[in-house]
Amino acid sequence: MKPKVYIETSVPSYLTAWRSPDLVMAANQETTKEWWDHKEQFDLFVSALVIQEVSAGDPNAAAFRKIGRHSRG
């Protein structure tokens, strides 16, 4: 049985945001991306509220957040 992990809003946000010039924020983004590369080791869960939150804002950015794609700078 895989460990269960709840994915909250910062995970898709860090995965899809432009690289931050702030050192701490950039480190959080990089750590999240490294963890995400091993996500298959876990059973991931997300709430309806997180889906709602990541769907807000700029439509193009929201589309990236909803699919968890991390192809931005």
Q: Collapsing DSSP states into helix, strand and coil, what is residue 45? A: strand
Q: Are 38 and 30 contacting, i.e. CB atoms less than 8 angstroms apart?
A: no
Confidence (pTM): 0.76
Helix, strand, coil share of the chain (percent; to 5): 55, 10, 35
pLDDT tens for 11-47 read 988 988 889 999 999 999 999 999 999 999 999 998 8
Residue 19 sits at the vertex; the CA angle it makes with 64 and 26, to the nearest 5 degrees, is: 120
* Sequence spans of domains, the chain: 4-67
